[in-house]
Structure 1
Amino acid sequence: MIGYLYPWLLFFHVFSVILSIGPYFILFPLLRRLQEASHEELEHHLFVFRYVVWISKHAGHLLVVTGVLLWWLGGYRWNTSWILIPIFILLSALFFLARAFSPTIKAIQEGKIDRREAVGKLRFSLYAYLVILLASLWFMIAKPTYW
C-alpha cells in the first residue's frame, strides 16, 4: 500500500509547490499596472492579486500535509538538516506570510494609502515571499547535510 501511496503523495507535493510559487510570477507585470490603473482597472488587478494569494495559500496547506506524510512514510529522521532548516525558515516567516499582502490590498481599495507606496510594499512582500519559498525549495531538492 505504501509503495503505491508514496509516488502519489510526492506528485501532489510537487504540484502544490508549483501552485504555491508559480502564480506569483504573474504579479510582477501586474505591479507596474497597479500604479497607473483607473479605478475600474484597479479593481480587476486587485482581484487577480487576491486570487493568486488565495491559490498559493491553499496550495501551501496541501504542501505541508503532503510534506508531513512523505516525511512519515519515507522514514526520514525529523532532525535531518534539509528537513529542519526549511521548517525553521517557514515557521519564522509564518507571521510575515500570513499578513504580507491582504492589508495592503485592502488599504489600496479603501484609498487609505498612496498607490506608489502600496505598490512598493507589495513588491517587497512579493520578493520576500519568493526568496523564502525558493530557499525552502532548494533545501528540499538539494538535500544538503549539515549535521
Structure 2
Amino acid sequence: MKSGIYGAIVFLHVSSAILAIGPLFLLMPIIKRLRDVETSIEQAYLSIIKVIIRLVMHAGHVLVYTGVLLLVFGPWPWYTSWILMTLVILLLSGFFLARGFTIVLRKFKNPDADKNKILDRLNNTSWLYIGLMLIMLWLMVQKPMLW
C-alpha cells in the first residue's frame, strides 16, 4: 500500500481516537451541573450528554475500522501482544459504553429513580471508559511487547 494512503488511515485513526476520548471530559462538568438544575432544564443537559455519547460511539466505530485497516496493511501481525491486549480492552470498553451509558440514561427517565445515584454511576462510568481508552492509547503509541 502506498505510504500516502497508509498515512491517511493513520491520520483518521488518530483523529477518531481523539474524538472517542476528548468529548467525555465534557461530561464531568455537565454531570455536576445536572445535580442542581430544575426539572425543566434537565432535558437540555441530558440531550447534551446523549450527543456526546453518540459522538464518542461513532468515533469509536471509525477507530475500530481504521485500526482493522492498519492491521491489514501494516507491518504488525494480529497476534502481537499489544494488539491482542488492545482488542481485549476494546471489547471491555464497548461493554462499558453500552451498559454504562445507555442503560443509565434510560433509568434517568424513571420518576422514582434516585438521580444522584444515577449521576454518580454515570460519572464513574465516564472515568472508567476514559481510563480504558487511555490504556488503549498507550498500547497503540508505545507498542510494548508484553509476552
TM-score of the superposed pair, with normalisation by structure 2: 0.94
TM-score of the superposed pair, with normalisation by structure 1: 0.94
Query: 5 Å matches for 1:9-88?
Result: 9-88=9-88
Q: CA deviation at 1:104?
A: 1.7
Greater shift in the superposed pair: 100-109 or 41-50:
100-109
Q: CA deviation at 1:94?
A: 2.9
CA contact (8 A) 1:2 1:73 kept: no
Q: CA deviation at 1:34?
A: 1.1
Q: CA deviation at 1:11?
A: 0.4
CA contact (8 A) 1:9 1:69 kept: yes
Query: 5 Å matches for 1:53-132?
Result: 53-132=53-132
4+ runs deviating over 3 angstroms: none
Aligned residues, how many?
Answer: 147
CA contact (8 A) 2:93 2:133 kept: no
| Consecutive unaligned residues in structure 1, runs of 5 or more | none
Quote the sequence identity (%). Answer: 37
Q: CA deviation at 1:118?
A: 0.8
Q: Partners in 2 of 1:83 and 1:25 — Cα distance?
A: 26
Q: CA deviation at 1:81?
A: 1.3
| Consecutive unaligned residues in structure 2, runs of 5 or more | none
